[in-house]
Amino acid sequence: MEELLNKNVLELGEALRRKEISSVELTTFYLERIRKYDGELRSYLRVTGDLALEMARAADEKLRRGEGEGLTGIPLGIKDILCMTNIETTCASQILKGFIAPYDATVIRRMKGSGFVNLGRLNMDEFAMGSSTENSSFQVTKNPWDLERIPGGSSGGSAAAVAAGLCVAALGTDTGGSIRQPAGLCGTVGLKPTYGRISRYGLVAFASSLDQIGPLTRSVKDCAAVLQVIAGHDPMDSTSIPQPVPDYLSFIGRDVKGLRVGIPREYFIEGMEEDVKGSVESAIKVFERNGAS
């Protein structure tokens, strides 16, 4: 079963539709990994095992009817800042302990419509105010590559869980780097989408003019697959953009020749570690070699 960790969202979806594996089996595999490894990592605040298996059985029935699409049967983790019915939403704060939202956030509603499986609530800095996931009022999340180091934040639980293979992908939120920074520290893909592309309805706000919801994944292709499901106009969010959603997956592998890439001067700061500087410069050279300027 460990080979499942090497499959992306699209490959897992295809395996589910071909009945090579069931969502219940896939979900059980991830729940077992959480049980085995998260005691030390502490990426999850609450693991919703019974609910996950219930959602997996519903996904298998949907697949049996030939109705599977998008994220049907795929086990994901959710940052504890997005409202969900029947599950606590605490924002990693004792203040909200026991709070259960009366409605689902729009992104959750869309993922439920696609048939995703919710493995549980992922740790974060309290009310998203931090960049290390040490400021949760419940527990400190570790970096799966080195347990003596931080995973970043505030979506550190999401990044750590994805990097450790404790979910296929996860949702996080980003105000001033809270998806991108932990993604960088944990070696995952993290995207802060364009403002208004994803509805913020049901997100517990930090700074509503900056907050965005986005995916943390193991690959760009997975990021596109999740974004395809959660993006789109929502009349419940007045800042949501009333524009059609592009086919993000069609962009994968597209030539970058002729593109102009901006490099912020602030990336190269005094005291920057040489390894980090070298990684950024290597990424720039990849674009140059492929025809970007």
**Residue 154: cis peptide before it, omega within 30 degrees of 0:** yes
Decide if 22 is catalytic: no
Q: Which of 154, 155, 199, 240 is catalytic?
A: 154
Question: Measured between alpha carbons, how far is 245 from 78 in angstroms, rounded to an integer?
Answer: 22
Active-site annotation holder among 178, 192, 199, 240: 178
Q: Is 219 among the residues known to form the active site? A: no
Q: Put the strands of the sheet holding 75-79 in their side by side order.
A: 44-47, 117-122, 75-79, 169-174, 212-217, 189-190
Q: What number of other Cβ atoms are within 10 A of residue 249's Cβ?
A: 14
Q: Work out whether strand 44-47 and strand 117-122 pair parallel, antiparallel, or are unpaired.
A: antiparallel
Catalytic hit among 22, 23, 62, 79: 79
Sorted by sequence, the CB contacts under 8 Å of residue 246 that are 6+ apart come out as none
Tokens (6 digits) for 164: 């450790």
| Catalytic (active site) residue 293 | no
* Residues belonging to the active site: 79, 154, 178
